[in-house]
Chains A and B, each alone.
Chain A
Amino acid sequence: MSEWGTYTLSDLVMFSPRVYFRLVERYNQQFWPLQLVWIAGAILILAPAATGVPRARVAAFPLLAAAWLFCAWQFFWERYTAIHWGMSYAAGAFLLQAGLLALSPAPARQTDGPASRLRHRGGICLMLFGLLAYPCLAWPAGRSLASAEIFAMMPDPTATTTLGTVLAVAASGKRGWVLLPIPLLWCAFSGLTLLALEDPGAWASLAVIVATFVLLLADRR
């Protein structure tokens, strides 16, 4: 323990911001315009799912599973592991989350009681933040929009959108709890990594964690 105590956040980051965001830029370029397909598809399915449309509710978690699978394969396994050997474990965690989402489909109708209004609306806000605001964060962070982080392509907006959808769709029952730890842990890891890289995007990841816990606690009252 004493030796671990001598490490700082920056000791655990083994690449420079320039290398990381160039990796994201090249990744985005290689798949353009798939990003638009992911965002449009997610809005078409997740928004009605959150408002209770039965078919959309059934399709929501499989869509999220596909997003986590794509992120695990294309971002973590094919790219991020090249500059961070530890990301092979993250790829495994993302695969596990894809499996959990695939095996935990939301029922066509609400069966476990309604979510509180605050949690439901807050979940929708988080979901929209992940889908629409996250790609724009590159701009206030002083980065090129080519390094925009987009749902299903990149882990942070994928985790954020998933947390929002689970909060809005899985309502107040225990069904959704199993789907929360991995996205929350990822947001914590990512926030700390971006802090070490001195990227303002760190605060978005950390704010998502706070928002999720606020909505969960509000629902328990």
Chain B
Amino acid sequence: MAITRRTAVQGLGIGALLPLAPRLALGQPAGILTRPIPASGELLPVIGLGTWITFNVGDDPVLMDECAAVIAAFFDGGGRMIDSSPMYSSSQPTIGYGLRKLGHPKRLFSAEKVWISHPEQGGAQIEASRGYWGVDKFDLVQVHNLVSWEKHLPALIEMKAAGRLRYVGITTSEGRRHREIESIMASQPIDFVQLTYNILDREPEQRILPLAREKGIAVIVNRPFRQGDLVRQFEDGPLPDWRAETGARNWAQFLLKFIISHPAVTCAIPATTRVDHVRENLEAASGTLPDEKMRRRMIDYVEAL
């Protein structure tokens, strides 16, 4: 697939770019690049917020406040999508706590999952999750790791038709069950697919990402840093001299820019416990994005490290 700077910029919400430069100078990004959800045209910022591990803090008030501060910084920086799952233990109540502190921002795009092997209990699980978040309904509910997807997916599609959620999706991670993911993408009316994709895990470029474009399915990218391992792996090495051409100030932004510059990617969802990191992540969703030639250069550089 040919990706040029022009095509990389196409599909992004360019209007958000216009007020960006002066606000960036103050370190407070007001604008953020967006991509449309193919099913509706609704614009989503290309950086979201994951919650695996980072928001699982139990009832520790200090850590809950830290997470609430991350959520506040996320919305302040223009973010919308927060993604979680019943599998993440206390992450859901932590999100609910943060949202309550902020008065439930209207900007929120709530992405949840159903994760239970007994399909008849899926509805109750989604309802429990909704209670933790404190939202009227979820924007997106995904079948987590394809658990009992044959039963959950029709139920979610029915809920969507009844107006009880807005979008339906499926998820996987770390390259698992991609053949099955492809099959579902080709045969089922899903709006979103979530998977792992980063500068070293590029297998989705072969089939899944092109299929997502062909079928009009939005793509959420999880584990953009391989749970922080990529940043730790590269941070001792120098960023390339030409990093300014990628628009990245640091390794995290370098890695995120690579992901969100793929035209099939709708949103990447890095997770963090730190306000400075969430700001850095959102900053990656501004300015220019690498074109195909630059993406190849980025790959060659990190693979040589």
Contacts and interface: CB of A to CB of B under 8 A. Distances in A.
Interface of A: 3, 6, 10-11, 13-16, 18-19, 22-23, 26, 79, 82-85
Contacts of A11: 174
Contacts of A14: 52-53, 56, 87-89
Closest 6 A/B residue pairs (Cβ): A82-B58, A83-B58, A15-B56, A83-B89, A19-B57, A82-B90
Q: Name the interface size band of chain B.
A: 20 to 34
Contacts of A18: 63
A84 B88 CA distance: 8
Given A3-B176, A6-B175, A16 B53 contact: yes
Interface of B: 52-54, 56-60, 62-63, 87-90, 174-177, 227, 273
Contact of B89 (A6, A10, A84): A84
A79 B59 CA distance: 9
A19 B87 contact: no
A83 B177 contact: no
B56 A26 contact: no
Given A3-B176, A6-B176, A10-B227, A82 B87 contact: no
Contacts of B273: 16
Contacts of A6: 174-176
A82 B59 contact: yes
B63 A15 contact: no
A14 B227 CA distance: 11
Given A3-B177, A6-B174, A6-B176, A83 B57 contact: yes
B60 A15 contact: no
A19 B176 contact: no
5 contacts: A11-B174, A15-B56, A16-B53, A19-B63, A26-B60
A22 B60 contact: yes
A6 B178 CA distance: 13
Nearest to B174: A6
A23 B56 CA distance: 12
